[in-house]
């Protein structure tokens, strides 16, 4: 799947250098019409010649473990610190993917990161987007990084 290896490489680099966690990519797939349950998502919008979004979807338990590692302090509930950490991870992933999608640096713009947290929600983007979702595992936990894009020439 297009961009799956780029997502895997960027995610592993960011997690090993910034979060101090080793994450293992699993088999990529196209996530369609599936609800996210007891999760938090960090989302970055893409605009310009490439439109769409990059999102990181973390089950609550994984989000707490990642935020604890990222901040170096125990985090026991989904709070502002977790939302900020997940937004920052989305921002770093978005920046990494922007470099791949737009090597010249002037054709793709990134939005500010946003987060969504809830018991059950869905995230849809573009109707005609290319979709790729890469699941990752670490310490018995899982999460997903998803790219939905539409490119104009």
Helices (H), ranges, 45-101: 60-71, 80-101
23-52: pLDDT as tens digits: 999 999 988 778 999 999 999 999 999 999
Task: Enumerate the β-bridge partners of residue 117.
Answer: 40
Task: Enumerate the β-bridge partners of residue 139.
Answer: none
Q: Give domain limits for the chain.
A: 33-127
Is pLDDT above 90 for 124?
no
> What is the percentage of the chain residues whose pLDDT exceeds 70?
99
Whole-prediction pTM: 0.94
Q: What is the CATH number of domain 33-127?
A: 3.40.1550.10
If DSSP codes are grouped into helix, strand and coil, which group holds residue 99? helix
Residue 111 tokens read as: 């939005």
79-112: pLDDT as tens digits: 999 999 999 999 999 999 999 999 888 899 999 9
Count helices and strands in the chain by DSSP H and E runs: 3, 7
């Amino acid at each position: 799947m297009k961009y799956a290896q780029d997502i895997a490489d960027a995610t592993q680099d960011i997690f090993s250098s910034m979060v101090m966690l080793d994450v293992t990519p699993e088999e990529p797939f196209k996530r369609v019409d599936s609800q996210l349950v007891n999760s938090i998502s960090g989302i970055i919008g893409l605009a310009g010649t490439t439109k769409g979004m990059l999102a990181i979807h973390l089950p609550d338990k994984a989000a707490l473990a990642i935020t604890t590692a990222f901040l170096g302090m125990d985090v026991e509930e989904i709070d502002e610190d977790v939302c900020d950490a997940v937004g920052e991870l989305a921002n770093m992933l978005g920046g990494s993917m922007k470099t791949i999608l737009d090597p010249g640096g002037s054709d793709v713009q990134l939005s500010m990161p946003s987060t969504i947290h809830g018991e059950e929600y869905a995230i849809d983007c573009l109707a005609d987007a290319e979709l790729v979702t890469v699941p990752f595992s670490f310490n018995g936990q899982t999460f997903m990084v998803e790219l939905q894009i539409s490119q104009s020439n």
